[in-house]
A and B are shown apart, each in its own frame.
Chain A
Amino acid sequence: MVRLITHNLLACHAKGCTSNNFPLQFQDAAIELRDAEFNADFLRGFLPRIEWTALVGAARQLGDTSLPAEQPEMLDDEFLQKLHHVLLEVHVEEGAMVCPNCKHVYPISNGIPNMLLAEHEIG
């Protein structure tokens, strides 16, 4: 599964690609929405670890505009529900992620991203 929680942690690691290699851009993404268990405590704890701008941008690429551009200070239930949905309920099943810097393409198949590199691409 590539959900946005994972996308927010992945970066391009092709040889020599060390800057502007995050966030990867979705390409031809086929998405599925599936319910996940809501856990407000997890979300509150995880929030400071998120690269917020990357998350908002990736959600918009996938057609979800529910998150504010700036991370709100008030973590009310309504906000946490939106965050939960964006992070954990939007599954990219097929498509690819492309490095914004070197344009390396990481395919996604059956919900599993392929982050392997060919031998000559390993840094």
Chain B
Amino acid sequence: MPEVKPTIVSSENPQVYEDVHVHAVYDEIAPHFSSTRYKPWPIIAAFLSSLPTGWVGVDLGTGNGKYLPLPYDRPGAVWTIGLDRSINLLKLAKRAGDVDREVVLGDVLDHPWRRGAFDYAISIATIHHLATPERRKLAVQRVLETISPSHGRALIYVWAVEQDELSKRSIPASADNDGQCSSPSGQTGRGQDVFVPWVLAQPAESKPKTRRKGKSGKPATPETPETGVDAEHSPPKVFNRYYHMFAKGELNQLVADAASALGLVLGDAPADGIVATGEGEKECGVQIVQDGWERSNYYVELRRWER
């Protein structure tokens, strides 16, 4: 397994950078990637199980749609719509769990919805693919804008610098070095920009879908090791996906910044009856219900409120 390696976001246009180092890669590796992504993480499963029947939500960066069939204990009790930028992942997501799902080709930085239309939103392993602090903050803003201002709930997961001992990935030795960090120094919770390789073995006899030569769309840029490849098989391709690994405290700071940008109070909802604001004036806020680290990821669960 090739190592995770530090990188520096080089393009002047982060959108273009993400197109090359995230979206095009996922379009190329979609079927193989999907075959490795089927087990829901416990906190996400518990979150989706806790939702009232009849709620409708959106999975921002749904990938292969592995969370769309949940909750398993009450299938069909809530309805999650999946959004992603990778059309090839969406083709898998729309039959996640072998049932018709609703999926939308879209960007997590856009807002193609009625405002506050959703009861809940999840964004799992997605925001860490955005290449600048501003874009990551905007993505959190979009999560908050997508859900109902009165009761909307959200769960966000991002990859952590602090990796699980059991993780198959090796951590770049320079993870804590200042020199490799793209964020401005002096801030709390700096993360680490890295490339995470995806090795796509290409046996000639299977999965023709992984080779989509001649199709439309931007080509990814694989590095092709030329050594030791027998003629029967295509050479394995290594695709480097861009990640921003989050430092401790960084996700919560992002939530605070996003809340501030939207004019939301960050904190628990005031108890009924003690609101001191003027007549008819509503105070809006967002509460951090829980946050923490699970299996190499930071997560935060949010709830919006208005009084």
Contact = CB atoms under 8 A, between A and B. Distances in A.
A36 B54 contact: no
Contacts of A112: 87, 90-91, 94, 103-105
B: interface residue count bin: 35 or more
B120 to A, nearest CB: 12
Interface stretch (B78-86, B196-204, B250-258, B263-271): B78-86
A79 B102 CA distance: 23
Shortest Cβ-Cβ A-B pairs, 4 listed: A45-B54, A115-B112, A115-B106, A39-B76
Interface in A10-40: 10-13, 22, 34, 36-37, 39
Contact of A44 (B54, B103, B113): B54
Contact of A42 (B79, B114, B115): B79
A22 B87 contact: no
B8 interface: no
A86 to B, nearest CB: 14
Interface residues of A, number: 35
A116 interface: yes
Given A34-B100, A36-B100, A42-B78, A5 B110 contact: no
A3 B94 CA distance: 12
Interface of A: 1-3, 5-6, 9-13, 22, 34, 36-37, 39, 41-47, 49, 51, 91, 110-117, 119, 122
Interface centre among A44, A49, A113 (most CB of B within 10 A): A49
Given A11-B114, A43-B54, A116 B107 contact: yes
B20 interface: no
B174 interface: no
B15 interface: yes
19 contacts: A1-B94, A1-B102, A2-B102, A5-B56, A6-B81, A9-B56, A9-B81, A9-B118, A10-B112, A13-B113, A34-B100, A39-B77, A41-B53, A43-B54, A47-B54, A49-B54, A115-B105, A115-B106, A119-B15
A61 B191 CA distance: 50
B77 to A, nearest CB: 6
B240 to A, nearest CB: 24
Contact of B54 (A6, A46, A91): A46
A114 B90 CA distance: 11
A33 B127 CA distance: 36
Contact of B102 (A5, A22, A39, A122): A5
Interface string B34-78: 000000000000000000111110000000000000000001111
